[in-house]
């Protein structure tokens, strides 16, 4: 997971798909940029979240974002991060943490100061809860770090 030293939350590595990229190419690039990790093996799609919101831009009526989630394996060696400025400002660092612990942290932050958090914290908490439920049903290795 990616930990924000500024806000204290946990998020999955990710970001936008650049022109000419497919989802898996973007996934590999974003994992490498945000965590310094390299994908090994072909990722398997776990699910997706579609979010609707009011747009920041005045000339749009609706903001829609689709986030795809994959089960991945990374190489054991972690390299150098290549963060965008806002990611550096938020203090993004890769961290091994259990699903349960990351979920607990994000849920606590959402209860205590939801107005000060990035919008992704609620989405990531929802996906972490789904992962936790899945691991309890045997869908993902229990206590597996992601």
- Domain span at residue 46 reads 2-136
Kind of pairing between the strands at 39-53 and 63-74: antiparallel
Whether residue 14 lies inside any domain: the answer is yes
Number of structural domains in the chain = 1
Whether residue 146 lies inside any domain: the answer is no
Whether residue 20 lies inside any domain: the answer is yes
Whether residue 115 lies inside any domain: the answer is yes
Per the DSSP assignment, residues forming a β-bridge with 70 are 45
pLDDT tens string 18-77: 999 999 999 999 999 999 999 998 999 999 999 999 999 999 999 999 999 999 999 999
CATH number assigned to the domain comprising residue 33:
3.90.79
Number of H helices, E strands in the chain: 4, 5
Reported confidence tier of residue 141, pLDDT bands at 50, 70, 90: very low
Whether residue 144 lies inside any domain: the answer is no
pTM: 0.89
Listed in order, strand segments (DSSP E) in the chain are 2-4, 10-11, 39-53, 63-74, 92-94
Mapped onto helix, strand or coil, the DSSP state of residue 83 is coil
Beta carbons within 10 angstroms of residue 26's beta carbon = 16
Whether residue 141 lies inside any domain: the answer is no
Pick the closest to residue 10 from 39, 36, 43, 34 (CA basis). Answer: 34
pLDDT tens string 119-130: 999 999 999 999
């Amino acid at each position: 997971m990616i930990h924000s030293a500024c806000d204290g939350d946990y998020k999955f590595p990710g970001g936008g798909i650049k022109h000419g990229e497919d989802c898996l190419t973007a996934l590999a690039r974003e994992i490498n940029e945000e965590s310094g990790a390299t994908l090994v093996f072909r990722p398997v799609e776990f699910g997706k979240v579609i979010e609707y919101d009011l747009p920041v831009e005045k000339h749009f009526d609706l903001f829609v974002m689709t986030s795809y989630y994959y089960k991945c394996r990374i190489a054991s060696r972690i390299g150098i991060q290549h963060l965008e400025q806002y990611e550096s400002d938020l203090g993004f660092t890769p961290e091994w943490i259990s699903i349960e612990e990351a979920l607990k942290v994000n849920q606590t932050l959402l209860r205590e100061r939801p107005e000060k958090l990035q919008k992704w914290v609620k989405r990531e908490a929802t996906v972490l809860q789904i992962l936790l439920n899945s691991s309890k049903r045997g869908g993902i290795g229990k206590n597996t770090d992601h």
